[in-house]
Amino acid sequence: QVQLVESGGGSVQAGGSLRLSCAASRSTYDTCRYMGWFRQAPGKEREGVAAVYRSGGSTYYADSVKGRFTISQDHAKNTLYLQMNSLKPEDSAIYYCAAAVDLGGSWYVPGSYKYWGQGTQVTVSS
């Protein structure tokens, strides 16, 4: 059974940090070679934030978060992380974890992923 559960969201002031976690079921973690983080702010489309090709370790980032966010994995815990530093008000959104056995398109396109978590809210105040 595919299961992705996000946690770690919250409210912080601009310049602060948060670490999001995405706990995956063992079967998901073993079969999905791509995992990523997306976000969606009110009235906006869901956008890709970061992704990792788990087999090779390649990582991908949106230009808006490069140098501030880091995606990482803990294989022993079947968990994907997103470390977010130097947060800005425009980073406020619901953050979603996503997974795919193989990407159906580009890493930053939501339709490329088959499995999704329920989302966790991140609010950054100025």
Q: Which residues pair with 99 in a beta bridge?
A: 35, 115
Report DSSP letters for 31-59, one per residue. Answer: H--EEEEEEE-TTS--EEEEEEETTTTEE
Residue 113 in tokens: 């992923």
H-only helix segments in the chain:
26-31
Contact 88, 124 (CB under 8 A): yes
Q: What's the pLDDT tens digit per position in 38-67?
A: 999 999 999 999 999 988 789 999 999 999
pLDDT along the chain (126 residues), means of 10: 90 98 90 95 97 90 98 93 98 97 92 95 98
Per-residue model confidence (pLDDT) at position 106: 95
